């Protein structure tokens, strides 16, 4: 098993990419703390992990809240005695946001959830990784950080900031056996899009997905498990000499497919 007896925290772990990562880790022998904003979703995934024979606890908290983050890390250490792996996957976006339409409130909240939350999680976890002389941090950014598909200024700015956070921490921690890498998912078929199309017709959703498929060089959207496979590599000792890297998981994006 690639992660035998490791302990991981996966934020935003109740659905989509986060759920896929949490389950992939558990299948490889990892105990997982599943974080989400709402306890019901986190508990469901924690139950799936336990069914695989691993330990898991569900913790509902806002990763943009310093006290909540510190409490979650303290509870993890109390329960499992250590933290080997951190996956910063929690995030969200409040619709399209061109610059003039972006309010202060929307900017601050999206930056808080997508960037500040990753900083707070890293700051809380790193002392425990230093203590153990080992750690794997995986920050989930977005293809939009380098190749925006639409003007969503607050979200893409936050995800760009994640890349800066990743390289800075990788440099700072390189001599301490703690690696820090980022994943940049492209269009992934998950609950993110399901929620986007609430109240709209199936035809509208299918037309949108067909358009996305055509933009990807591999001519299809990705699945959460395909992101989880990359996370598993970065969380395991197979990537022991990899740090400060950003891995695109986008079916060839940002390459542009040829017409015809």
Active-site positions read 155
Decide if 18 contacts 90 (C-beta within 8 A): yes
Q: How far is CA 138 from the centre of its chain?
A: 7
* CA nearest to 173, candidates 129, 222, 111, 224: 129
Q: Please tell me the distance from the alpha carbon of residue 128 to that of residue 124, in angstroms, as a whole number.
A: 8
Q: Strand, helix or coil at 15?
A: coil
**Number of residues in the chain:** 260
CA dihedral 54, 181, 106, 224 (to 10 degrees): -50
Q: How many CB atoms lie within 10 A of CB 194?
A: 12
Q: What are phi and psi of 31, to 5 degrees?
A: -85, 140
Decide if 87 contacts 141 (C-beta within 8 A): no
HSE-up (13 A, CA, CB side) for residue 213:
8
């Amino acid at each position: 098993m690639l992660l035998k007896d490791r302990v991981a925290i996966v934020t935003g772990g109740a659905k989509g990419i986060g759920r896929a990562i949490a389950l992939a880790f558990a299948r490889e022998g990892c105990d997982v703390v599943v974080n989400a904003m709402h306890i019901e979703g986190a508990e469901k995934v924690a139950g799936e992990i336990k069914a695989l024979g691993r330990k898991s606890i569900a913790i509902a908290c806002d990763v943009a809240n310093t006290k909540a983050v510190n409490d979650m890390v303290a509870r993890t250490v109390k329960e499992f005695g250590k933290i080997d792996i951190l996956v910063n996957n929690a995030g969200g976006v409040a619709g399209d946001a061109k610059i003039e339409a972006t309010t202060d409130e929307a900017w601050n909240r999206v930056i808080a959830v997508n960037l500040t939350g990753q900083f707070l999680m890293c700051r809380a976890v790193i002392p425990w990784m230093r203590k153990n002389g080992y750690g794997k941090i995986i920050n989930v950014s977005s293809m939009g950080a380098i190749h925006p598909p639409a003007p969503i200024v607050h979200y893409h700015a936050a995800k760009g900031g994640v890349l800066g956070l990743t390289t800075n921490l990788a440099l700072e921690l390189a001599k301490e056996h703690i690696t820090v890498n980022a994943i940049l998912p492209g269009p992934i078929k998950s609950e993110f899009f399901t929620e986007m199309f609430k109240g709209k017709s199936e035809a509208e959703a299918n037309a949108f997905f067909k358009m996305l498929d055509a933009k990807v060089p591999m001519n299809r959207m990705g699945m959460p498990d395909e992101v989880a496979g990359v996370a598993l590599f970065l969380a395991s000792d197979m990537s022991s000499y990899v740090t400060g890297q950003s891995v695109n998981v986008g079916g060839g994006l940002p390459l542009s497919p040829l017409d015809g």
